[in-house]
């Protein structure tokens, strides 16, 4: 068997010089895990009003103003997946370096401090293995590409297939245009050049009986936060954080469909790297001087990301004893802006033995902004090039239909049976970010569609997190241990549904449907986290 490597046509690169990303791919990068110090995790993250923990630097930086001594801390642990089977380089148990940071305190008055903090923490850990399978009853991934080609026009979600100068099938805007359609994706390219044109040259598609998908996600988003925070007469605490982020994501998948005579496998490797920055401002107030009760509020700006994504995607098509291999690869830069985040928190302490915290956050993921890089200018004075961008309005409209606002509730309690031992308990509820009946739209005239190399998507449900923790202090040293269990269910689909769509057939039209059978999937994970700290 001889493999033939095929790469995207030069004409496609020329037509698609600007870039954007797709709704479901963007959603993978948005949001945060519950992570930080073991004390913060053990209390469910409900410390935005209690403060005095370095992990509040990224949510409510006013909490840094409650430190009375300088300190440093270091956290690491294990992340364990409780379901699924190991695949490729993905492992169900992974070591993780999660946090390192410190606070430097300076006294500015009898009851006032000005504190400076730095903290690195892993805000998102991508280590996860997804396995899904289901029946198809005659529908297939390649039929989706076939229907788009039969539609023949970008205006109705399809493309017009014609040969380019190299003899490759390319999807154009319509029968009169020489411009490549934005609805023409990388996966369409593979199918229309290897599977859909049969040996007789007649366009057709293969019907599938069932599918399986295995995908290993790896990587992380690292946060580097720099904060300044102070207090006024131990009653009002103010804080400001400038944060930088770096993304390292990799996903490798194998999607298989079984045909009546043979089958097809799509192997896809996707990488996303890049950086971003954001700003967070917060306040904590003690409304009654004689009471330790506190109210906290904070706002986090969008994270302005500048990212690069690349993929290598291969199709192995076997019919009888004949196998055909084709590969396509691509790389491009894009921008993404996450939504604003708002938070309100309450905190109260009773003596030196009990602390109670509650936090509510809201973030509207429907406002994720996919950006098209559309030019820039060169600053000769500073010898720098600045790239400009504009919204991908088509994809952003789809994002508003597929995603929604998310509410996060954090609850936590810490109890000290003796002065140097702390017991902690916490709970998180994160509402779903996906609309329940949303799906990936392969017919969007968007650059996010053009660079798509997979068709599957998952509508994940709510997240429930349960945490436990214990802390022990010896003189100026502290050691904290936390356990977190996170549970989430989702609905996986190998491709979007097409129901009773009219496509041309000779002088008439016929109704075509392509219905994907969804599969129930889970993302249940456990984390064991250890923090070592020292107070100066």
pLDDT digits (tens, 9 = 90+) for 268-297: 999 999 999 999 999 999 999 899 999 999
Task: Round to whole Å and give the CA distance between 434 and 27.
Answer: 9
Q: Among all chains, which residue has been given the structure tokens 């109705």?
A: 156
Please enumerate in sequence order all residues whose Cβ is within 8 A of that of 316, keeping only pairs 6 or more positions apart, or say none. 264, 265, 266, 267, 323, 324, 325
Question: Mean pLDDT throughout 448-468?
Answer: 95
| Position 375 confidence tier, pLDDT thresholds 50, 70, 90 | confident
Summarised one tens digit per residue, pLDDT across range 128-173 is 999 999 999 999 999 999 999 999 999 999 999 999 999 999 999 9
Q: Among all chains, which residue has been given the structure tokens 């739209």?
A: 441
Question: Mean pLDDT throughout 90-114?
Answer: 91
Beta strands 405-418 and 354-364, pairing class: antiparallel
Please enumerate in sequence order all residues whose Cβ is within 8 A of that of 228, keeping only pairs 6 or more positions apart, or say none. 61, 64, 114, 115, 116, 117, 239, 240
Q: Which residue has the higher pLDDT, 47 or 512?
A: 47
Backbone angles phi, psi at 15, to 5 degrees: -75, -30
In the chain, what is the straight-line distance between the N-terminal and C-terminal CA atoms, in Å? 68
CATH 2.60.120, domain 10-73+93-535, yes or no? no
The domain limits of the chain are: 10-73+93-535
What does the pLDDT read at residue 14?
36
pLDDT, averaged across the chain:
91
Summarised one tens digit per residue, pLDDT across range 311-361 is 999 999 887 666 778 899 999 888 999 999 999 999 999 999 999 999 999
Percent share of the chain, pLDDT over 90: 79
Summarised one tens digit per residue, pLDDT across range 176-225 is 999 999 999 999 999 999 888 765 556 789 999 999 999 999 999 999 99
What does the pLDDT read at residue 504?
78
User: What b/e sequence results for 332-347 when a residue is b if at least 16 CB atoms lie within 10 Å of its CB, and e otherwise?
Assistant: bebbbbbbebebbbbb
Please enumerate in sequence order all residues whose Cβ is within 8 A of that of 165, keeping only pairs 6 or more positions apart, or say none. none
What does the pLDDT read at residue 509?
82
What does the pLDDT read at residue 278?
97
Contact by Cβ (8 Å): 372, 18: yes
Task: Round to whole Å and give the CA distance between 484 and 527.
Answer: 5
Cα–Cα–Cα angle for 499, 503, 509, rounded to 5 degrees:
115
């Amino acid at each position: 068997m001889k493999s033939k490597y095929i790469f995207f046509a030069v004409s496609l690169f020329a037509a698609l010089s600007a870039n954007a990303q797709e709704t479901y791919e963007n959603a993978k990068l948005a949001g945060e895990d519950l992570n930080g110090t073991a004390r913060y995790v053990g209390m469910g993250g409900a410390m935005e009003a209690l403060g005095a923990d370095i992990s509040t630097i990224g949510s409510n930086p006013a909490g840094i103003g409650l430190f009375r001594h300088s300190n440093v801390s270091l956290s690491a642990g294990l992340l364990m997946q409780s379901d699924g089977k190991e695949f490729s380089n993905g492992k169900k148990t992974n070591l993780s370096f999660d946090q390192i940071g410190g606070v430097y305190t300076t006294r500015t008055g009898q009851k006032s401090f000005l504190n400076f903090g730095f903290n690195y923490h892993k805000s998102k850990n991508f280590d996860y293995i997804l396995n899904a399978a289901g029946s198809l009853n005659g529908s297939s991934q390649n039929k989706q590409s076939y229907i788009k080609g039969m539609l023949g026009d970008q205006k109705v979600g399809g493309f017009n297939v014609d040969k380019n100068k190299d003899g490759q099938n390319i999807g154009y805007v319509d029968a009169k245009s020489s411009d490549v359609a934005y609805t023409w994706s990388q996966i369409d390219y593979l199918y229309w050049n290897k599977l859909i044109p049969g040996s007789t040259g007649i366009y057709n598609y293969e019907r599938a009986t069932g599918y399986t998908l295995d995908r290993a996600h790896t990587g992380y988003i690292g946060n580097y936060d720099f904060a300044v925070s102070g207090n006024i007469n131990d009653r009002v605490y103010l804080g400001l954080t400038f944060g930088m982020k770096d993304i390292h994501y990799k996903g490798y998948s194998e999607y298989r469909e079984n045909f009546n005579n043979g089958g097809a496998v799509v192997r896809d490797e996707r990488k996303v790297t890049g950086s971003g920055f954001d700003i967070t401002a917060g306040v904590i107030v003690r409304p009654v001087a004689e009471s330790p009760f506190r109210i906290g509020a904070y706002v986090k700006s969008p994270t302005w990301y500048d990212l690069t994504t690349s993929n290598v995607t291969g199709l192995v098509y076997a019919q009888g004893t004949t196998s055909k291999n084709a590969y396509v690869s691509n790389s491009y830069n894009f921008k993404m802006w996450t939504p604003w985040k708002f938070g309100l928190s309450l905190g109260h302490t009773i003596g030196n033995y009990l602390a109670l915290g509650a936090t509510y956050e809201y973030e509207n993921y429907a406002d994720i902004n996919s950006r098209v890089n559309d030019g820039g200018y060169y600053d000769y004075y500073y010898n720098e090039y600045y790239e400009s961008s504009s919204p991908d309005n088509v994809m952003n409209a789809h994002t508003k239909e597929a995603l929604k606002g998310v509410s996060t509730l954090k609850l936590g309690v810490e109890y000290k049976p003796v002065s140097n031992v702390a017991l902690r308990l916490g709970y998180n509820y994160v509402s779903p970010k996906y609309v329940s009946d949303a799906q990936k739209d392969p017919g969007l005239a968007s650059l996010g569609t053009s660079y798509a190399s997979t068709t599957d998507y998952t509508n994940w449900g709510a997240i429930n997190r349960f945490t436990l923790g214990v802390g022990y202090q010896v003189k100026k040293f502290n050691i904290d241990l936390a356990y977190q269990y996170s549970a989430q269910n989702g609905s996986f689909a190998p491709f979007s549904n097409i129901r009773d769509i009219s496509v041309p057939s000779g002088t008439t039209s016929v109704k075509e449907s392509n219905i994907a059978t969804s599969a129930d999937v889970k993302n249940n994970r456990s984390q064991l986290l250890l923090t070592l700290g020292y107070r100066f």
